[in-house]
């Protein structure tokens, strides 16, 4: 449920990490272009400066597969480049060809290393922009972005969706009497329980302060209420274990008929959570829409 690291090699057009199969397909396609580049270099001959094109598959392979993919592409590119030059020159100066080969391979490897570092830096920045720094969950913006994408998918396949809105009771008292460090530890513990109790496709986020939300794809009303009951018990156990006097108000909005706007799902769950607050806190209220 916690956001996956954007440091994983490669991502699709929506910024989500590519699957292993998708990466393999793209790497294989990239490597397969190298002989084509070599053949075009052979056709154009030495009169045309076709050499920089060999950098492209190295850059692409590094982007989708990290340093290892870039290393493979660099070795293949250098080998094809050497073979073509050998044919074009008729091996008239093998020493020069070998020296050029070493220089080319060095340049290709440096390019692969630099692209790998650049991609890793971009991934870290992207992850930080979407992650709550205290809990590691999706932040407000990322939760709504991912939720909107999941809602679109659920509408396409007519799957039910449930949103849980969770608010801590007496969190201010914990902060005031035990200190902000304890309050931060409490929030991190809540996030850990949420992650431990959730499936890989569930989306969890910290929306701000002591408010958390969960999107449960393909989850109907009965399963959602059972999940919320179990989650609340786990959270209360964690609070008792640490001696924290916090409880939880949870709103559960299960949708069979899906609206167009993801904000509508969250606002329904928020309203149910608020109803729990108004009726004495420390409980669950669920409705089906």
Active site residues: 210
Cα atoms in the 13 Å half-sphere on the side-chain side of 160: 13
* Angle (nearest 5°) at CA 153 between 147 and 157: 140
- The enclosing H or E element of 257 equals none
219 in Cβ contact with 212 (< 8 Å): no
Neighbour-count burial of 90, counting CB atoms closer than 10 A to its CB (0-12 exposed, 13-18 middle, 19+ buried): exposed
239 in Cβ contact with 187 (< 8 Å): no
109 in Cβ contact with 78 (< 8 Å): no
138 beta partners: 131, 205
Q: How many CB atoms lie within 10 A of CB 264?
A: 15
Residue 214, SS3?
Answer: strand
CA dist list (Å): 24 to 18, 20, 28, 69, 221: 10, 6, 6, 10, 39
Residue 74, token pair as written in the block: 């660099």
Q: Name the nearest CA neighbour of 2 among 96, 134, 92, 91.
A: 134
Q: Determine how β-strand 283-288 pairs with β-strand 247-255.
A: parallel
Residues in the chain: 289
Q: Name the nearest CA neighbour of 230 among 273, 284, 189, 276.
A: 284
């Amino acid at each position: 449920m916690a956001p996956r690291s954007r440091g994983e090699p490669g991502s699709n057009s929506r910024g989500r990490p590519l699957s292993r199969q998708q990466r393999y397909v793209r790497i294989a396609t990239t490597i397969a272009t190298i002989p084509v580049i070599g053949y075009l270099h052979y056709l154009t001959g030495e009169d045309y400066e076709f050499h920089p094109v060999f950098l492209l598959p190295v850059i692409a392979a590094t982007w989708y597969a990290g340093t290892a993919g870039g290393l493979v592409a660099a070795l293949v590119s250098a080998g094809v480049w050497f073979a073509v030059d050998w044919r074009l020159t008729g091996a008239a100066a093998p020493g020069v060809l070998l020296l050029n080969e070493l220089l080319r391979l060095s340049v290709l490897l440096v390019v692969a290393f630099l692209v790998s570092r650049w991609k890793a830096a971009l991934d870290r920045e992207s992850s930080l922009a979407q992650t709550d720094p205290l809990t590691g969950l999706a932040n407000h913006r990322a939760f709504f972005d991912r939720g909107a994408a999941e809602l679109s998918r659920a509408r396409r396949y007519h799957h039910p969706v449930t949103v849980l809105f969770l608010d801590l009771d007496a969190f201010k008292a914990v902060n005031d009497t035990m200190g902000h460090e304890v309050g931060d530890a409490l929030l991190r513990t809540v996030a850990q329980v949420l992650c431990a109790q959730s499936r890989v496709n569930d989306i969890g986020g910290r929306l701000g302060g002591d408010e958390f939300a969960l999107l449960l794809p393909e989850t109907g009303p009965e399963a959602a209420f059972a999940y919320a009951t179990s989650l609340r018990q786990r959270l209360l156990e964690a609070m008792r274990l640490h001696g924290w006097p916090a409880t939880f108000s949870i709103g559960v909005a299960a949708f069979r008929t899906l609206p167009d706007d993801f904000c509508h799902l969250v606002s329904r769950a928020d309203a149910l959570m608020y109803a729990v607050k108004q009726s004495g806190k420390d409980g669950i209220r669920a409705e089906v829409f």
